[in-house]
Each structure stands twice: as structure tokens, then as C-alpha cells.
Chain A
Amino acid sequence: MYPITKARTLADKIFLMDVKAPRIARHCEPGQFIIAKTDEAGERIPLTICDYDREAGTITIVFQIVGASTERMSHLKEGDAFQDFVGPLGCPSEFVHEDLETLKKKRILFVAGGVGTAPVYPQVKWMKEHGIDVDVIVGAKTKDMLILEEEMKEVAGNLYITTDDGSYGTPGMVTGVIEELSKEKGIHYDTCVAIGPMIMMKFVCLMTKDLGIPTIVSLNPIMVDGTGMCGACRVTVGGEVKFACVDGPEFDGHLVNFDEAMKRQQMYKTEEGRAMLKLQEGDTHHGGCGHCGGDK
């Protein structure tokens, strides 16, 4: 069992937990992920590592409720435990192995969207710890959905916040800020890291390709084992089929086939939705899901 040493709600349906997993905490690097399973019946859920404390032996995860398993996960409290917690999986971010002096000369932009702010955080923190100030753009639907603002402020060079509905920060999308920084302020970025919803990463990549900024994205496709065994996470990158779990999760965003990746993410939408409805409505469920026939 893997005890939860801290649990808090970050926003509506978004949760943060610190989990005791010393083997993982000892070896993980920014960019890697873990797989968590609540109990016997739960799914194996891949989550990018949000933070780690090697001394305390803990891993920080952030997740959003998207289905029955994440819904159940959200009920766990401090003192409870995950039945299974495995990692670190996938490859660390490339910069971890880059020459520090070369890296220090680069102008780096991070773009985070929604719950994708969580995996961006350890990368920005790593930069800060290595004496590199980076620019960070964080986008959220609305002010209440914004997460880790204070934490990010502490580690980012410049932090730009946008909300879709304009309830906080600059109104609009993250791409608007990229455009402003690059075109109006004339900042030339050497590299960009974008993590968030697939659709956001797609549009960020379209823009950075135009601007000539090499861009890394982190994909979170459907997975089962996370060690290369099932091939559920296959994604086409530069015309080649890759397994996100072992070859990624980070890839050259300008080469990723986002349209295929987005379609693949829909694979179990109906099944997930059904499981979710069953959980929420229990015996009171009498149709509406389009599957049970209760409404016919």
C-alpha cells in the first residue's frame, strides 16, 4: 500500500495528493509519470509527476475527475492509501540530460493548460533550481479552475496567466500570449514546452511552427500497463508509430499527429461515461446514457 500523506482540493474536480513511494521518489525526474490504482476494481491511471521529495520519499500527483476511477480516487483522504502506485515510467524531459551551460543560454517558454499546469510545474522548478529563469504561460477556463498559481509564481521567471472567459489575467487563449510575446515584444524563444489538453497542444504547435520555435509536448493517451506491453498508447510521430509510455511521453510537437491522437482518446468515452453514470446514479439510473435502454 502507498499511503497518502497530504490531500487537498485545488479547484472544482481537481485534486492534489502527496503519496509515499520511496523507490519512485528516489529515481524520478521531471517529465516522467506514475500509474496509480485505487483498489482491486480500479483502473490503472497514468498521471504525470507534479513534484517529488526525495528525502520524504513522496510523489505529488494532480488529477481531474474524468471517469469512475478518478471519481473514486477523489474520495481518498490523507491517511488513506493507494493499493498500487508504480513508476517512474517513461523518459525524463530531454533537458535533464542536456549540458547545463548550453541550457542556461537558451530562452525557454513553458505553456501550461488546465490540469496540465501540474506536469509543467516540476520542469519549471527544476529550471529554477539549476539557475534558469523561464517564461511560463498558464491558461485556464476560468479563475476558479486555475491551479498552482502561487507555486508557479515562486519558480517561474515571468508568469503570464490567461483565462478563456477573462475572469482573471489576460482574457483569451494561451496562443494569444505566445503571439504577443513573440511578435509584439519580439522575444525569440529557443524552445517551448507545452502541456495541456490535446487541442491546446495542437494549436500551440501550429503557432510555434510558424514562429520557428522547436516545441516539446507531453502526451497522455490511454494506457494500461505503462511499460510498453499493451500498445494502447501508440501515437504517430513524424510518420512513425511510437509508444507514448516508453518512447515518450514527451515528443517533438511539430511531428505529432494530433488529429489521430485526439480520436484515439475518444476510444472508451462511451464506456467511461457509462461507468460514471452508474456510479453517480446507482440504482436510480433509468436511462439517458444511450446504452441501457431504460429511456425507451
Chain B
Amino acid sequence: MDVLKKIPVREQEPKVRAANFEEVCYGYDQKEAMEEATRCINCKNAKCIEGCPVAINIPGFIAEVKEGRFEEAYQVISQASALPAVCGRVCPQESQCEGRCIRGVKGEPVSIGKLERFVADWARENNIKPEPAKEKKHHKVAVIGSGPAGLTCAGDLAKMGYDVTIFEALHEAGGVLIYGIPEFRLPKEKVVAKEIENVKALGVKIETNVVIGKATTIDELMEEEGFEAVFIGSGAGLPKFMGIPGENANGVFSANEYLTRNNLMKAFQEDYDTPIARGKKVAVVGGGNVAMDAARTALRLGAEVHIVYRRSEEELPARVEEVHHAKEEGIIFDLLTNPVEILADDNGWVKGMRCICMELGEPDSSGRRRPVEVPGSEFELELDTVIMSLGTSPNPLISSTTEGLEINKWKCIIADENNGKTTKEGVYAGGDAVTGAATVILAMGAGKAAAKGIDEYLSAR
């Protein structure tokens, strides 16, 4: 074994997986996990923990894996994370824990994500559950949204003994884990549903089909239903469009719609009613993780897929692993390319997209080099489907119906990042609803901080 290198993880062959929705990565088995664990040098001042938004005791759990004590390893992770099987799969480890790993200085960092995933999967297969609180506190807390922020906040509060109810607008709990991230990256029944069951096992109640701001309001929850504190983890759900001509043509979708049809409504399965456009030639506009998910979904539904992104490969915001997987599967990257118009046929259906070539100029406010148009470089791409993956913004449904809850100019709820406190007493918030579109793990970190904030608030009452 080369100690400078990660134990490789087994994956489905690119050609095979490009035509199915089964999980791409198989994960480590016991032997591989224990071998990879020996690469951790158990730093006293572990940088990886600092890199983790929920501060998992990483060397602590890896030490247990090394010895084959997987249940103990799971309990170490559980102290900090409610969704380890999810995080092990979708966290951007390269810029967090693994990005700080000392091993990475001279070689590859320890494969922390894959180890976390192994431990969580092992615990699930062996039916190990986190322990519910021994003592109940008689305070009711409402959590709005059952995505990563809400589940984490609810789980943590339940472990402290609070009586927690989650309100979810959709018909299934999980938020972006259910409607956004596809099956091939995050299996729904095997992984997400089980993690949610674990949160329920802690005593958390989940009421689906309740749109806060419509069916009831935060003020009513607090004044009439006896909730003493509320956590808002409603995410950033509103899709952005480019505002270019032709964008309302048939065959132009937001990535949110495309993924929701496929993931939540299971349009890829024959026996489900919800339809999805199975394009032959699809362009996905954007370069983030969601763009990769949409592209790889369209590919699996049988299309030739192009990623159209206005900057270069270096600036792609998606995780390196996702870009790598997408390329392996045959996604075509049209970089330094920006759409200017969508072309439709007489029936209103997409027939192509006019694009312009870009080059990189001076760095902009984000520090990335600003793409500028190359004059006279316009060309047409022949297409039948366009998926816009340009990011999302928070839904105003809650902020506009809650007295005293302030938002900033991006319509994000204003909240203290240390404890989730908003401008309204007893109301806390975190995740994409506060930060705008970010990652699963950052939302979990915010949910965790807010659980602590709510505990302090209710304990002082």
C-alpha cells in the first residue's frame, strides 16, 4: 500500500452507469475502510475538525474504524452529525476536512468522506440508531422545512429533550435531499429515508403538506399552537432565469423543475405518472453541482448533454468529483460560452440556442476572472431541451407573512450565524434561507448552531 495515496473506492463503470440511476460510488468495504483508517496520523491539533462545519471528531471516529469498532465510530459521528450517510456522499470534502488534512501536504489526504459514509452505512445495515433523550423538556419547538438545516436542528433539539415538530411544504420530507440531489448520487430509500427515520426515532414529528405562510403562519404557530420557538430552514427555492429572449419556449426548464420531476416525482420510473421531457440533445446552462446533477440526469434519460458555462473549467463551482464523474459519463463541456437567445419552432418548442464565446478578463468582486464576450463570435447550438441552472433565491412566502422578521436586499432572512437568532423573538433561522444557495453541510452547521441558540433561549425562560 502506498501511504501517500487514498485506498481507491469502487465505482460503477461509466458506460454502464450512464444508462441507469443506481448509485455511482459503491463505497468502502470493512477491509478497505480499516486500511484507509491507518493513514490517519491522529493529529493532536486536528485541522480537519476545524474544516468541518459541524465539527465532527474526525480523528476520533477514524481511530475506532482502524480497530474495527464501527458502532463506536458511529456514536462519535452521531454526537455531531444527524445525517452522516448523506454528508459522506455529498459534502465538498476537498475544500473542508480533507482540504485541511496534513496527509494532503505530501500526497493525498485521508479519504474522510468515504470513511464517514462507510461508518454510516454500516450502522444502518446493522440497525444501529442514535439514542433518544432520556429526559423530556416540556417546550414545543416548530421547525420549518425538512431539509438538511431543519433535520439537523430538529435532531439536535430532540436529543436535548425538546418536543419538536417539523412542517414540510412538499409531500415528502428531506428537502433538497429528496427533490434536488439525484438517486445516483444519494439513494432516496436506502439512505435519505433511513436518515429521516433516525431523526424520527429521536421523537421528532414531521407534518408534510403544510406550507407555512399559507396554511398557517409563524405567528399562529406561536400564539395559537403553543410553539415557544421556531426554526426556519426553508431553503432557497426560487429558480433564477437568464431573462434572454425565448426562455419561455416549451422545452426550457429550471434545473429545479427538471430535478424535482425526476427525483421527487420519480418521472424516470415507468410506473409513476409525472412526465419529464426526454430530450435528445440537451444543454444545461450553469456550472454548479446542480448543473452537474441535471446534466447527468438528462444523460441517463437518454440525451446527448452539453454543459454551457460562461467561465473556464477552473472556475466551475461544482465539486471536482462531480465534474470528473460527468466527464467520464460523456457530458460535453462547452466552456467560455454564454447563451444569448433561445430559438423556438412554430409550435413554440426549443430548436436551438444562440450562444456567444467568452474570454476571461480582470477579476470581479467574487475574485474570479470576469468573463467578457468575444465580439462576432456568436454561433448556434441545435437543441431540443434547455435546462437553466443559474442558482436559486429564498422564497418570500415566510418572510412576507411573519411580523417583525427582517430580510436583507437578497431576500435572505437576517440571522446571527453563531446562534441563528433573527430579528423576531423566539424565531431562529439557518441554511439557504439565510445564506442563499450553499451546501448541505453548511445548512447542517447552521441548523446545529440554531439548536444551541434555541436551547439557550428556552432554558433562560
Query: Residues of A with Cβ closer than 8 Å to B?
Result: 23-24, 26-27, 37, 41-44, 67-69, 72, 83-89, 224-225, 227-232, 234-236, 241, 246, 260, 263-264, 266-268, 271-272, 275
25 contacts between A and B (CB under 8 A): A23-B216, A27-B214, A27-B216, A43-B274, A44-B274, A85-B209, A87-B211, A88-B215, A89-B211, A224-B260, A224-B261, A225-B169, A225-B170, A225-B179, A228-B237, A228-B397, A229-B237, A229-B256, A230-B239, A230-B261, A246-B397, A263-B348, A267-B277, A268-B277, A275-B275
Query: What A residues does B15 contact at CB under 8 A?
Result: none
Query: What A residues does B275 contact at CB under 8 A?
Result: 268, 271-272, 275
In the complex the two chains form, is B171's CB within 8 Å of A267's CB? no
* A83-B250 contact in complex given A27-B215, A227-B211, C-beta closer than 8 Å: no
In the complex the two chains form, is B248's CB within 8 Å of A264's CB? yes
Residue B271, interface by CB 8 Å: yes
In the complex the two chains form, is A232's CB within 8 Å of B257's CB? yes
Residue B231, interface by CB 8 Å: no
> In the complex, A274 Cα to B117 Cα: how many Å?
41
In the complex the two chains form, is B210's CB within 8 Å of A236's CB? no
Query: What B residues does A264 contact at CB under 8 A?
Result: 248, 250, 348
Query: What A residues does B45 contact at CB under 8 A?
Result: none
Residue B208, interface by CB 8 Å: yes
In the complex the two chains form, is B253's CB within 8 Å of A41's CB? no
Interface string of B224-264 (1 = CB under 8 A from A): 00000000000001110101000110110110110011000
CB < 8 Å neighbour of B169 from A69, A86, A230: A86
Classify the secondary structure of A's interface with B.
Answer: mixed
Distance to closest chain A CB from B282 (angstroms) = 15
Known interface pairs A37-B171, A229-B239, A268-B277; 12 further A-B residue pairs with C-beta atoms within 8 A, sorted by A's residue number: A41-B266, A41-B272, A67-B273, A69-B273, A86-B169, A227-B211, A229-B237, A229-B238, A230-B256, A231-B256, A264-B250, A275-B273
Query: What B residues does A69 contact at CB under 8 A?
Result: 273
Top 8 nearest A-B pairs (CB, nearest first) are A271-B275, A263-B348, A230-B257, A84-B171, A86-B209, A231-B254, A229-B237, A23-B215
Query: What A residues does B274 contact at CB under 8 A?
Result: 43-44, 224
In the complex the two chains form, is B395's CB within 8 Å of A241's CB? no
Distance to closest chain A CB from B96 (angstroms) = 27
Residue B265, interface by CB 8 Å: yes
Residue B365, interface by CB 8 Å: no
In the complex the two chains form, is A44's CB within 8 Å of B171's CB? yes
Query: What B residues does A236 contact at CB under 8 A?
Result: 248
> In the complex, A41 Cα to B271 Cα: how many Å?
7
> In the complex, A271 Cα to B279 Cα: how many Å?
12
In the complex the two chains form, is B208's CB within 8 Å of A84's CB? yes
In the complex the two chains form, is A260's CB within 8 Å of B248's CB? yes
Distance to closest chain A CB from B269 (angstroms) = 8
Distance to closest chain B CB from A291 (angstroms) = 11
In the complex the two chains form, is A23's CB within 8 Å of B395's CB? no
* A87-B257 contact in complex given A37-B171, A260-B348, A271-B275, C-beta closer than 8 Å: no
Residue B347, interface by CB 8 Å: yes
Distance to closest chain A CB from B159 (angstroms) = 29
> In the complex, A234 Cα to B254 Cα: how many Å?
11
Chain B residues 267-298 with CB under 8 Å of chain A are 271-277
In the complex the two chains form, is A224's CB within 8 Å of B257's CB? yes
With CB as the reference atom, state the residue of chain B lying closest to A41: B272
Query: What A residues does B348 contact at CB under 8 A?
Result: 260, 263-264, 266
In the complex the two chains form, is A230's CB within 8 Å of B397's CB? no
Distance to closest chain B CB from A287 (angstroms) = 18
CB < 8 Å neighbour of B265 from A44, A68, A228, A229: A44
> In the complex, A228 Cα to B170 Cα: how many Å?
12
In the complex the two chains form, is A230's CB within 8 Å of B171's CB? no
Distance to closest chain A CB from B343 (angstroms) = 15
Query: What B residues does A87 contact at CB under 8 A?
Result: 211, 214-215
Distance to closest chain A CB from B236 (angstroms) = 10
Query: What B residues does A271 contact at CB under 8 A?
Result: 275-277
Query: What B residues does A84 contact at CB under 8 A?
Result: 171, 208-209
In the complex the two chains form, is B250's CB within 8 Å of A224's CB? no
* A86-B260 contact in complex given A41-B272, A232-B253, C-beta closer than 8 Å: no
* A241-B208 contact in complex given A230-B254, A230-B256, C-beta closer than 8 Å: no
Select the residue from B209, B266, B397 with max chain A CB neighbours within 10 A.
B209
In the complex the two chains form, is B395's CB within 8 Å of A228's CB? yes
